[in-house]
Amino acid sequence: MPLVHSEKIEEISTLLLWKLTEPVNELTENLGNAFNSEDILTISHPQKLREWLASRLLIKKLAEQFGINYIGTHKDKHGKAFLVDNDSHISITHTFDFVAVAINPLAAVGIDMEKIDPKLQRTSKKYLSQPEFEHAGDQMELLCMYWCAKEALYKLYGKKKISFRDSIYIEPFGTKAEMLKGRLTDEDMVITANITIRWFDQHCLAIAL
């Protein structure tokens, strides 16, 4: 797994991005027993299994940088991943080509990565409010940034049944923006976040803090 990018985000979170090149058997061997076997049993698609194993191997490597004894992850009732026996917050994302992990010892973090794809144009009215839709138009970079930013904020919040279109708002930005402002509303709760944007080989990566 060649390291593509390593960065400290806002001095409190650490991001690692790796190129996914290894087959399943190599990932399994390198990970050893540091995973929840029950999770493995729920994954039948070979590529999804490969991505899952790679993400856990990357979490293990990142945890070791913080002196954490990595023994696996578990999920809460909303499907949000946490480290076993450690209070540091993590977030995971993976695509066909990349896997990325962020860790924050102090507070929640959300991360997402998406490759520019025409489907973002076809589905934009489902995840953008009307002002966001008018702002983005058919610009692929803006649509990808909107999607990733909303997904990252959604994962930071960590609870299901949130409408991307109606409950998550991203302030207008330009295609060269590296920091976005987002707001998630759930009943009487309002969460604001800074969302860092990075680009890698036509993939947008967003980290919400």
Q: How does pLDDT run across 31-77, given as a tens digit for each residue?
A: 887 666 666 777 888 888 888 888 888 998 888 888 998 888 888 88
Q: Which helix (H) or strand (E) holds 50?
A: helix 46-65
Distance in angstroms (rounded) separating the CA atoms of residues 209 and 207 = 7
> Does 86 share its domain with 11?
yes
pLDDT above 90 (res 24) = no
Indicate the number of domains in the chain: 2
Last residue of a domain, one of 107, 136, 164: 107
Do 134 and 86 belong to one domain? no
pLDDT given at position 16: 94
Burial pattern 173-208, b for ≥16 Cβ within 10 A else e, equals beeebeebebebeeeeeeeebebbbbebeebbbbbb
Q: Span 81-93, mean pLDDT?
A: 92
Give residue 1's pLDDT.
67
The pTM of this model reads 0.92
Domain check: are 116 and 168 in the same one? yes
The whole-angstrom separation of Cα 40 and Cα 53 is 9
Last residue of a domain, one of 81, 107, 133: 107
Domain residues for 168?
Answer: 112-208
Per-residue pLDDT at 38: 63
pLDDT given for residue 35 in this prediction = 66
Same domain, 118 and 78: no
Domain boundary among 91, 107, 123: 107
- Are 124 and 194 in a shared domain? yes
Same-domain pairing of 144 and 186: yes
Higher pLDDT, 155 or 2: 155
**Pairing relation of β-strands 168-170 and 110-115?**
unpaired
Q: What is the average per-residue pLDDT within 71-87?
A: 87
Q: What percent of the chain has pLDDT over 70?
A: 97
Is residue 89 domain-shared with residue 167, that is, in the same domain?
Answer: no
pLDDT (0 to 100) of residue 162: 92
Tell which wins on pLDDT, 126 or 81: 126
- Please name which of 172, 33, 156 lies closest in space to residue 89, comparing C-alpha atoms: 156
**How confident is the model at residue 115, as a pLDDT?**
97
Domain co-membership, 76 together with 135: no
Q: Are residues 87 and 8 part of one domain?
A: yes
If asked whether residues 87 and 140 sit together in one domain, one would say no
For residue 136, the domain's CATH number is 3.90.470.20
**Residues 62, 102 within the same domain:** yes
> CA-to-CA distance for 22 and 13, rounded, in angstroms?
27
Q: Are residues 152 and 179 in the same domain?
A: yes
Kindly state the DSSP code that residue 22 receives in the 8-state scheme.
-
